Amino acid sequence: MKDLKSILEADTYLQPRGKPTESELRLFLREVDFYCPLCGKELQSRKQKKLAEKRFQIAHIYPNSPTAEQYDVLKGLERLGENSESFENKIALCRDCHGTQDFHTTIEEYLKLMEIKKTCLRQTALHDATSTLGLENEIETVIEKICELKESDISEINYKAVIIANKFVSDEMLLKSKITGYVMTYYTYIRDLFKNMERTTAFNLDILSGQIRACFIKMDSSGANKHEIFENMVNWVNNETQNTSKLACEAIISFFVQHCEVFYEITE
């Protein structure tokens, strides 16, 4: 490649390497759950308060100072962030994986690491979507009652999940089947619980529905797929209610899929 130096200097995406702050290092670790996303090696103990002895390094996904080979191999491919020093273009890796990735970048390795980072960014956006949202306290009562259900209490319930069929495409069969199962078993029971609470307490289903809808819209705008949205909404309800039954929270979110607060119907 002729005059690599002048070519790199003209590429405004490439910026000099900057040193991450302590808070940025923790963000990088948190988004990969403290494990190397390439080999699974633990990067840092969650209990360790200081990062003096680091078992990880912050890697550039697109090199900030590529070799002639790297620049040629990665030519024309997508780049994350505004420049090479953007948070979006960096990720925490173990020292071994960073050493390999830093100097011997192939198209396959680059695209794999970029997709991992995109997933991390989506997960962060999904978490942030719920950080400022409230949730009606009465939903905890419903979850508790679901946990106490016996088979004899619901043996006669067989709700037909019509709306759900219009919200999934053919390759989303697993999630559709899971939600359909919950709706067929629990929808009527949960609906009647909510109705009874509206009659006997200050609970308002419209308010709760609005909260669930707001959460879905925020998550949907992050670019996450249906599986990611469903899992994160379940975790949100689980965390907000400090509940120990994730299955009961899945039943609740499935109720709101059928109730039209979660996922859009697919139009032909």
Question: In this model, does residue 2 exceed pLDDT 80?
Answer: no
Same domain (yes/no): 236, 171: yes
Does some domain include residue 154?
yes
**What pLDDT shows up at residue 143?**
76
pTM value > 0.95: no
Q: Is 193 a member of any domain?
A: yes
Same-domain check for residues 226 and 138: yes
What is the pLDDT averaged over residues 131-157? Answer: 66
Is 265 a member of any domain? no
Q: pLDDT above 70 covers what percent of the chain?
A: 85
Would you say residue 167 lies in a domain?
A: yes
Confidence of residue 202 (pLDDT cuts 50, 70, 90): confident
Q: What domain range includes position 205?
A: 133-258
> What is the tally of structural domains in the chain?
2
Determine, yes or no, domain membership for 233: yes
Rounded mean pLDDT, 98-113: 86
Q: Looking at 85, 108, 130, which one is the last position of a domain?
A: 130
Task: Tell me the range of 42-46, 110-114, 181-185 where mean pLDDT is highest.
Answer: 110-114
| Exposure string over 209-228, b if 16+ CB within 10 A, otherwise e | bebbebbbebbbebebebeb
Query: Is 170 found in the same domain as 81?
Result: no
Mean pLDDT over 121-145 rounds to: 75
Residues whose CB falls within 8 Å of the CB of residue 224, separated by 6 or more in sequence, listed in order: 122, 125, 126, 232
- 3 state DSSP class of 19: coil
What is the pLDDT at residue 126? 83
- Is residue 264 a part of any domain in this protein? no
Residues 123 and 156 in one domain: no
- DSSP string over 220-263: HTTT--HHHHHHHHHHHHHHHHT-S-HHHHHHHHHHHHHTTSSS
What values do phi and psi take at 72, rounded to 5? -75, -45
8 Å CB contact between 129 and 239: no
Residue 83 has pLDDT above 90, yes or no: yes
CA distance 38 to 41: 8
* Domain match, 116 and 179 both: no
pLDDT at 51 over 60: no
140, 254: one domain: yes
User: Are 157 and 112 members of one domain?
Assistant: no
Q: Which of 101, 130, 159 is the last residue of a domain?
A: 130
**Residue 52: per-residue pLDDT:** 57
Mean pLDDT, residues 137-152? 70
Domain shared by 111 and 165, yes or no: no
Structure tokens at 34: 């403290």
d(CA 71, CA 6): 13
Final residue before a domain boundary, out of 94, 109, 130 = 130
Higher pLDDT, 40 or 201: 40
**119 assigned to some structural domain:** yes
Which among 4, 165, 15, 153 is positioned nearest to 90, based on CA atoms?
A: 15
Instruction: For residue 57, give the 3-state DSSP assignment.
Output: strand
211-247 pLDDT, tens digit each: 889 889 989 988 889 999 999 999 888 888 776 688 8
pLDDT value at position 99? 85
> Are 202 and 215 part of one and the same domain?
yes
Structure tokens at 221: 């705008």
Residue 76 lies in a domain: yes
Q: How far is CA 115 from the centre of its chain?
A: 13
pLDDT at 174 over 70: yes
153 contacts: CB under 8 Å, gap ≥ 6: 189
85 falls in which pLDDT band (50, 70, 90)? Answer: very high
Residues 123 and 147 in one domain: no
What pLDDT does 121 receive? 92
Q: Are residues 90 and 185 in the same domain?
A: no
pLDDT computed for residue 134 by the predictor? 62
161, 266 in Cβ contact below 8 A? no
Does one domain contain both 94 and 44?
yes
pLDDT tens digits for range 17-40: 988 888 889 889 999 999 999 999
